[in-house]
Structure 1
Amino acid sequence: MQKDQLLMRRRALLAGAAALGAAGAAGTAGLLFSGSSDTPARSGGPAPGPQARSALKPSAYRLQPLTGDGAPRAEPGPTRVRHEPILRISGRGRTMLLTFDDGPDPRYTPHILDTLAKYDVRATFFVCGEMADWNRDLLARMADEGHVVGNHTWSHPLLTQLTRRRIRSEMERTSDVIEKAYGERPLWFRAPYGAWNRAIFQLGAEMGMEPLAWTVDSLDWTTPGTGTIVDRIESGAAPGVVVLSHDAGGDRSQSVRALRKYLPQLLDDGYHLTVPRRS
């Protein structure tokens, strides 16, 4: 399948899933956050398919030594089954979460990590297993720099159209790759296209993952222009919001440039940008 055809198919899936995502986002739930910036929904845009993955597998990204491959860690135990995803975080002050979906991509993710490091800010990356498998060193870097890595399935399918067995496979394969590269299994899950159902919530809970959606959608996957992305995030900024952006799935140069503009502005406005933490 050609790249343009793949993107059209992804966008068609998005249109079909929009109602599901809106229904799943009808309520809100609380979420603990880390108290320090140095403590270590969806997504609406299309995700890279196998052809895109093949173009992103230079040996330099596959042969780097990985961190976190020492003693094995215990797999997260089951968590309670939710009926809707978490949309906001609770806590004191002007606290926000920045999240990035669909990566890691060696063309854009390193630039995002560089900007976050420049301002000593931590973020959450919901990675697709097929991308993470080719770019495990980027997950290792995320671990080294205190970011949180969440599960965004293996191939970014519309889960509500899959059998329970295939949903489990999409989740488990991705968690396995994250554990090998990041050092521990993920505690957070985000459904592609923001499409949730009972099976997704149940399986995520069985694997010890909480469902995290978003409050502010930058819609950066539509490449609306750097200024538009900045305006959407700055106008949506408020205590407790979760911002959705992307570091893969297409040309994300606008997302990279936008982060360089809105991140220092949010900090100047007194926002504390942190990562989720389980109680």
Structure 2
Amino acid sequence: MKTIVKILLASALLLLITLPATTGAEENSNSPMHWGFKKGRNGRQADAGRMFEVILEDHGAVYKGDKNSKDIYLTFDNGYENGYTEKILDILKEEKVPAAFFVTGHYLDSAPELVARMANEGHIIGNHSWHHPDLTKISDEKIKKELEMVRSETERITGKKHMTYLRPPRGIFSERTMAVAKEAGYTHIFWSLAFVDWNTDQQKGAQYSYDKIMTQIHPGAVLLLHTVSKDNADALGKVIRDLKEQGYEFKSLDDLMLSKGGMKDPMLY
């Protein structure tokens, strides 16, 4: 009996020794994370904390630019059209400001003329997934399909084949989803300035949007705004003009990635 017990214990020990060392890491790699940060104040940059900083660096992702340069990167999430994107595009054109618009499948289906205008006027169109799912809850293949559906439809509408930037739906991500997206050719773009602006039945006026932006603004800020917000559309012109007067310069995500050395071949862009 003692001999049998010894054999069983030895077998169990051998099994533990020979298990792949990465098993635990693989299981944890899809642990969902919700993007968040300490807001910027008085010109100081927002701070996502060491853990997020390391994860983003490991996967080539970004959420802000150089703290010593008064550059701003304006981005919009476009889940659906609510009648304000045309006004936003008019303002950007008048002020000669570049932006990035992260679109979903619904937006591509319902507002293709606006997507075409974005591209024609030199704005970046980013990928926000087709169905806006929690990417951590779907397989690698489904993630790739979500992204490819957006890319291919954007190409059909705009003629532009390449899509470079991804913003994860709901700000939920994992190391697995970041790795899958990177393998598909995408750079994750998070943000360092945002506020609750997407509730269309709880708009509070242009001054609210203006104040939320101006109190958080900082060098290298990546702004996340939603085009469904009337407040944002009404405040945007004044925000841009006042920030220009403060010495800020609006730049594109391509400029941001170039500054970080994140483009493999800048001549392609």
- Shared fold (TM-score, shorter chain, > 0.5): yes
Amino acid in the other structure paired with 1:131:
Y
Aligned residue in 2 for 1:168: 144
Aligned residue in 1 for 2:41: none
Give the distance between the partners of 1:84 and 1:191, measured in 2 at CA: 14
SS of residue matched to 1:244: strand
Amino acid in the other structure paired with 2:249:
H
For 2:168, which of 191, 198, 202 is the aligned residue? 191
Does structure 2 conserve the Cα–Cα contact (< 8 Å) formed by 1:87 and 1:214? Answer: yes
Aligned residue in 2 for 1:218: 195
1:90-147 Cα deviation digits (max 9, x unpaired): 3863101111002462611111100111111111111112211332222221112111
Shift of 1:177: 1.2
1:235-254 Cα deviation digits (max 9, x unpaired): 11111010110113xxx212
- Is 1:271 aligned to 2:234, yes or no? no
Deviates more, 1:83-92 or 1:135-144: 83-92
Give the distance between the partners of 1:84 and 1:195, measured in 2 at CA: 17
Aligned residue in 2 for 1:130: 106
**Higher share of residues assigned helix:** 2
Shift of 1:171: 1.2
* Identity between Structure 1 and Structure 2 (%): 29
Does structure 1 conserve the Cα–Cα contact (< 8 Å) formed by 2:32 and 2:174? Answer: no
Does structure 1 conserve the Cα–Cα contact (< 8 Å) formed by 2:66 and 2:220? Answer: yes
Over the aligned positions, Cα root-mean-square deviation in angstroms equals 2.6
Does structure 1 conserve the Cα–Cα contact (< 8 Å) formed by 2:82 and 2:227? Answer: no
Give the distance between the partners of 2:198 and 2:80, measured in 1 at CA: 15
Give the distance between the partners of 1:93 and 1:81, measured in 2 at CA: 20
- Is 1:233 aligned to 2:247, yes or no? no
**TM-score, with structure 1 as normaliser:** 0.68
Aligned residue in 2 for 1:202: 179
Q: Unaligned 5+ residue runs, structure 1?
A: 1-16, 30-79
Give the distance between the partners of 1:192 and 1:137, measured in 2 at CA: 23
- Is 1:102 aligned to 2:78, yes or no? yes
Deviates more, 1:108-117 or 1:163-172: 163-172
Give the distance between the partners of 2:66 and 2:105, measured in 1 at CA: 29
* Cα gap change, 1:126 to 1:216, in 2 (>3 Å): same
Does structure 1 conserve the Cα–Cα contact (< 8 Å) formed by 2:194 and 2:225? Answer: yes
Give the distance between the partners of 2:60 and 2:184, measured in 1 at CA: 17
Shift of 1:180: 1.9
1:228-268 Cα deviation digits (max 9, x unpaired): 211111111111010110113xxx21221121331211111
Does structure 1 conserve the Cα–Cα contact (< 8 Å) formed by 2:79 and 2:104? Answer: yes
Does structure 1 conserve the Cα–Cα contact (< 8 Å) formed by 2:32 and 2:136? Answer: no
Shift of 1:160: 1.7
Does structure 2 conserve the Cα–Cα contact (< 8 Å) formed by 1:154 and 1:170? Answer: yes
SS of residue matched to 1:170: helix
1:149-160 alignment runs, 5 A limit: 149-160=125-136
* Cα gap change, 1:201 to 1:163, in 2 (>3 Å): same
Shift of 1:191: 0.3
Does structure 2 conserve the Cα–Cα contact (< 8 Å) formed by 1:178 and 1:185? Answer: no
1:11-90 alignment runs, 5 A limit: 20-22=34-36, 25-26=48-49, 27-28=52-53, 82-83=58-59, 85-90=61-66
- Is 1:245 aligned to 2:259, yes or no? no
Shift of 1:84: 7.3
Amino acid in the other structure paired with 1:181:
I
Amino acid in the other structure paired with 1:228:
Y
SS of residue matched to 1:200: helix
Amino acid in the other structure paired with 2:227:
D
Give the distance between the partners of 1:28 and 1:220, measured in 2 at CA: 25
SS of residue matched to 2:173: coil
1:187-242 Cα deviation digits (max 9, x unpaired): 10000111111232122112211000000013211345222211111111111010
- Is 1:254 aligned to 2:231, yes or no? yes
Q: Unaligned 5+ residue runs, structure 2?
A: 1-30, 38-47, 258-262, 264-269
